[in-house]
Amino acid sequence: MLNIAKETLKIKDAFLNLQNKKIKQVQRLISGNHRPKPCINITTKGLSRKQVIVPMNTDNTRKYMNDASTHVININRALKSIKSNIIADFIRLDDKCIIIFTNNVTNPSDLQEIKRCVKNSLVVEEDQIESPRLPQSKSYLKIVSISYISNQTNTKLFSDEVEKILKNSHIFNDIVLASKPQIIKILPKSDISIV
């Protein structure tokens, strides 16, 4: 007890403006009794890339979900047969689709096998199922200081030309545009635009 009081006085002398709570933290650090707070993994809201979305109509989703555990087993068997490292954990019903939760991000061959397995299900109508896909983030892209007049045609820049430029760039390889690019002039008399 005497040692703790001496240490407290030394800390107070060294750091005059330190509050009592901070002094106790410093004492714990010195004595080796400091335990770091547990780290909590916080994820963002929404879907992760470890999920596969299989769009289908509402009736089919309900029918499919009646025997979801069997479907998980069948999907895992199918993935194992193609020597995939992906394992389906469970299936969740969402609006007009089912979401298959997996242990890792699926590749195109895994997606094709999941599609085949879902379509071969006796419960689901085959023509009502779209191709499975991974969740996509929806972000906005703003490109500043682009010439409003096309260098090739000497006319106004059109969204088709911007799309072609984006597709030819290696930076945008895996990006899918949700809508057509919009070209806006910065000022009425300016020849520079924002896309």
Q: Report the SS3 class of residue 100.
A: strand
Domain boundaries, the chain: 2-31, 51-128, 146-194
Residue 142 pLDDT greater than 70, yes or no: yes
pLDDT recorded at residue 39: 55
How do residues 148-193 score in pLDDT, each as one tens digit? 777 777 788 788 888 887 778 877 776 767 677 777 777 777 777 7
Q: For residues 52 and 105, what is the distance between their CA atoms, to the nearest angstrom?
A: 9
How do residues 116-139 score in pLDDT, each as one tens digit? 888 888 666 667 777 888 877 666
Mean pLDDT value across the chain = 77
On whether the pTM is more than 0.75, the answer is no
User: Is 44:56 a contact under the CB 8 Å cutoff?
Assistant: no
| Token representation of residue 114 | 């999941």
Integer-rounded Cα radius of gyration of the chain: 29
How do residues 41-57 score in pLDDT, each as one tens digit? 544 455 577 889 888 88
Which residues, including other chains, have CB under 8 Å from residue 156's CB and lie 6 or more apart?
Answer: 148, 149, 150, 183
